[in-house]
């Protein structure tokens, strides 16, 4: 289990005050026993696979390109570690799952998970078993799923629906996305109890075939955060379910990337999740 983290993630930048440097600084201290890996900045080439040139330019004009590239680079590094068969948690900010190809909101700028998943799909190519690559698919049309080695399950456990990620992969059949709890953007999760929520995580894993598991790990469904639902042991249980699902389906290839989570206990939520996920 590796933690992808840079002290630069805790730098100050202009954003909503709840998205504070302590969101990564305190969990990093809590995870001190794990092996830490420094992320590189994501390359503009990798980012351009997901975001339009105009969008990247707007992020630059807001002064957010450097921190956003580093967060995306953290997610990519975590995906690379996962492809080698080891679990990884990218402790990054700013978050990413509300960033679509050409627009972003909700304290997100670049879609960290989407950039990492697209990079991983390219690396996996025709299969994890070293098979020859199939013919290149041209254009932005529908990507066919199936085949070996090129399917990703993204489990989004943030309180909020990961609309950016869903819109980015809408036409890509290699990628399945489960927004746990957020059955639809109308937030039906409010009717769930913790057991119902955890049951959705179990079903998402059980009902999917995948070669890599990615987790948009937001913790704002925590009991004392906005969602008011899950306790620390629930996050450990969710991490464990995701680990066991990855071990069963894809030789354990799994990584998680921090999304939301705004209560001071975020550090404990992350630690609980990692304990189950490692």
What are the residues binding Zn ion (CB under 5 A)?
Answer: 158-160, 218, 220, 260
CA–CA gap between residue 215 and residue 208 (Å, rounded): 14
Q: How far is the CB of 156 from Zn ion (least distance, A)?
A: 9
Question: Cβ closer to Zn ion: 220 or 236?
Answer: 220
Phi, psi of 139 (to 5 degrees): 75, -170
Q: How far is the CB of 251 from Zn ion (least distance, A)?
A: 30
Q: Is the peptide bond before 94 cis (omega within 30 degrees of 0)?
A: yes
CA triple 130-136-137, angle to 5 deg: 125
Q: Pick between residue 215 and residue 246 the one whose CB is nearest to Zn ion.
A: 215
Shortest CB 180 distance to Zn ion, Å: 12
- Nearest residue to Zn ion by CB is 260
The CB-based long-range contact list for 178-186 (8 Å cut-off, 24+ gap) reads: 178/153, 178/154, 178/204, 178/208, 180/155, 180/156, 180/204, 181/157, 181/221, 181/227, 181/229, 182/156, 182/158, 185/161
**Residue 20: CB minimum distance to Zn ion, A:** 15
Give the nearer residue to Zn ion in terms of CB position, either 80 or 220.
220
Q: Which is nearer to Zn ion, 13 or 226 (CB)?
A: 226
Q: What are phi and psi of 112, to 5 degrees?
A: -55, -50
Which residue, 164 or 218, is less far from Zn ion as judged by CB?
A: 218
In the complex with Zn ion, the residue whose CB is nearer, 74 or 106, is 106
CB of 162 to Zn ion, least distance (A): 9
Distance CA 163, CA 185 (A): 8
Angular region, 226: left φ>0, alpha ψ -120 to 50, beta rest: alpha
Which segments of the chain does DSSP mark as H helices, in order?
Answer: 22-30, 44-48, 53-61, 65-83, 112-124, 163-168, 194-206, 232-250, 266-277
Q: Is the CB of 46 or the CB of 220 nearer to Zn ion?
A: 220
Cβ atoms of 50 and 102 closer than 8 Å: no
Sheet holding 175-179, edge to edge: 35-37, 2-4, 88-90, 254-258, 212-217, 152-156, 175-179
Instruction: Give me the least distance between CB of 141 and Zn ion, in Å please.
Output: 31
Q: How far is the CB of 231 from Zn ion (least distance, A)?
A: 18
């Amino acid at each position: 289990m590796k933690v992808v983290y840079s002290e630069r993630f805790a730098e100050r930048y202009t954003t909503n005050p709840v998205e504070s440097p302590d969101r990564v600084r305190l969990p990093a201290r809590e995870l001190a026993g794990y092996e830490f890996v420094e992320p590189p900045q994501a390359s503009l080439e990798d980012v351009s696979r997901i975001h339009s040139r105009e969008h990247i330019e707007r992020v630059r004009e807001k002064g957010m390109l450097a921190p956003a590239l580093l967060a995306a680079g953290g997610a990519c590094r975590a995906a690379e570690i996962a492809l080698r068969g080891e679990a990884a948690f990218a402790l990054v900010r700013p978050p990413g799952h509300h960033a679509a190809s050409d627009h972003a909101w909700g304290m997100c700028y670049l879609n960290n998970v989407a950039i990492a998943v697209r990079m991983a799909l390219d690396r996996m190519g025709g299969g994890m078993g070293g098979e020859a690559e199939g013919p290149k698919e041209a254009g932005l049309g529908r990507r066919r799923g199936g085949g070996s080695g090129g399917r990703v399950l993204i489990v989004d456990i943030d309180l909020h629906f990961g609309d950016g990620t869903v819109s980015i992969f809408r036409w890509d059949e290699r990628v399945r996305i489960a927004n746990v709890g957020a059955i639809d953007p109308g937030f039906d999760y409010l009717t769930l109890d913790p057991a119902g929520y955890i049951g959705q995580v179990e079903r998402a894993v059980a009902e999917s075939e995948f070669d890599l598991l990615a987790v948009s790990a937001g913790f704002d469904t925590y009991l004392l955060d906005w969602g008011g639902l899950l306790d620390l042991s629930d996050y450990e249980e969710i991490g464990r379910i995701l680990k066991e699902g990855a071990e069963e389906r894809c030789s354990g290839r799994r990584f998680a990337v921090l999304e939301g989570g705004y209560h001071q206990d975020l550090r404990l939520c992350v630690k609980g999740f990692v304990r189950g996920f490692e």
